């Protein structure tokens, strides 16, 4: 599984980076994203779903979140 660490990256730049990473992946591949609390954990999963991807997991780890999505 591919992974991208976007802790400390603000909106909307973090989702731009997610979209660029998703372009490298094939349909159905999974991407693990590490995000800061606040706007990123709200906006990135929502935008990913709106673009046709599936959110498989959202887990809070200390002061950040791990999101796993499947490219749709």
Residues involved in catalysis? 11
Instruction: Report how far apart, in Å, the C-alpha atoms of 38 and of each of 2, 42, 49, 62 are.
Output: 23, 7, 18, 14
* Residue 15 near residue 53 (C-beta atoms within 8 A): no
The tokens of 56 are what?
């498989």
């Amino acid at each position: 599984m591919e992974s991208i660490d976007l802790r400390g990256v603000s909106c909307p730049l973090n989702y731009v980076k997610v979209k660029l990473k998703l372009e490298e992946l094939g349909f159905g591949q999974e991407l693990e994203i590490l995000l800061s609390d606040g706007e990123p954990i709200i906006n990135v999963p929502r935008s990913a779903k709106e673009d046709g991807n599936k959110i498989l997991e959202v887990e809070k780890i200390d002061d950040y979140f791990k999101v796993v999505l499947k490219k749709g």
